[in-house]
Amino acid sequence: MSENNNKKWYVVRAISGKEKKVKLYIEDEINRLKLGDYVSQILIPTEKVYQIRNGKKVSKERSFFPGYILIEANLVGEIPHLIQKTTNVIGFLGAKKRGEPLPLRQSEVNRILGKVDELAESEEEMNIPFIVGESIKVIDGPFNGFNGSIEEINEEKKKLMVMVKIFGRKQPLELSFLQVEKES
């Protein structure tokens, strides 16, 4: 008995930082109670953020809408109750006191899911935070701690040509975006 045509997207509010636990718990309950026909997807919109730690590029997932979880479901019978009584769940977004949870409009769903897909696709995309002539400080590599100015920017390779003063002489260095930071 598949009731796919009645599924809509709902937003569940959870305690920020507990989204993954809530998602796992709801998925476990749905599997345990064999309610997979009614709940098809549980998403936590995230984006990848890159940082340099100890000379290594580290990517970390950050919640795009902290405290919110998207659930595609047909909210029949016990399902809304099951979701609402989950630990760390605050409730459905848009639901009045004891009222029906309000589904997202399809246009909103497309916008959010489009953003999620876009973020997944552009995981290596980084905005170009530098401009030619700007002063920077090297924060990684053999020239860590040196200051310089940006001569040119290669967006494709995410590299900068930086002029650094070494022993009183200007020296050009090719550095990645992640090896430098703006001088404050």
What is the CATH number for 88? 3.30.70.940
Residue 34 region, left (φ>0) first, then alpha (ψ -120 to 50), else beta? left
Q: Are residues 103 and 156 in the same domain?
A: no
Question: CA dihedral defined by 80, 83, 84, 88, rounded to 10 degrees?
Answer: -170
Whether the Cβ atoms of residue 30 and residue 60 lie closer than 8 Å to each other: no
How much is the pLDDT for 27?
96
168 is in which domain, residue-wise? 135-182
Query: What pTM did the predictor assign?
Result: 0.59
20 or 51: which leads in pLDDT = 20
Q: Are residues 10 and 45 in the same domain?
A: yes
Q: Are residues 156 and 76 in the same domain?
A: no
Confidence of residue 40 (pLDDT cuts 50, 70, 90): very high
Cα separations in angstroms, 57 against 46, 61, 140, 160, 178: 19, 13, 10, 17, 8
Q: Are residues 31 and 81 in the same domain?
A: yes
How much is the pLDDT for 2?
45
How much is the pLDDT for 108?
84
Q: Are residues 144 and 113 in the same domain?
A: no
Q: Are residues 101 and 145 in the same domain?
A: no
Instruction: Over range 5-12, report the average pLDDT.
Output: 89
Q: Considering the domain boundaries, does residue 141 fall inside one?
A: yes
Q: Considering the domain boundaries, does residue 129 fall inside one?
A: no
Q: Considering the domain boundaries, does residue 44 fall inside one?
A: yes
78 or 166: which leads in pLDDT = 78
Q: Are residues 54 and 108 in the same domain?
A: yes
Whether the Cβ atoms of residue 171 and residue 125 lie closer than 8 Å to each other: no
pLDDT, averaged across the chain: 84
How much is the pLDDT for 62?
76
Q: Are residues 105 and 36 in the same domain?
A: yes
CA–CA separation, 116 and 97 (whole Å) = 30
Q: Considering the domain boundaries, does residue 126 fall inside one?
A: no
**Looking at the 3D structure of the chain, how many domains does it have?**
2
Q: Is a pLDDT exceeding 70 seen at residue 94?
A: yes
Q: Considering the domain boundaries, does residue 94 fall inside one?
A: yes
Q: Are residues 49 and 90 in the same domain?
A: yes
152-177 burial, b at 16+ Cβ within 10 Å, e below that, comes to ebeeeeeebebebeeeeeeeebebeb
Q: Are residues 163 and 92 in the same domain?
A: no
Q: Are residues 33 and 59 in the same domain?
A: yes
Query: Tokens for 67?
Result: 């405290």
Q: Is a pLDDT exceeding 90 seen at residue 140?
A: no
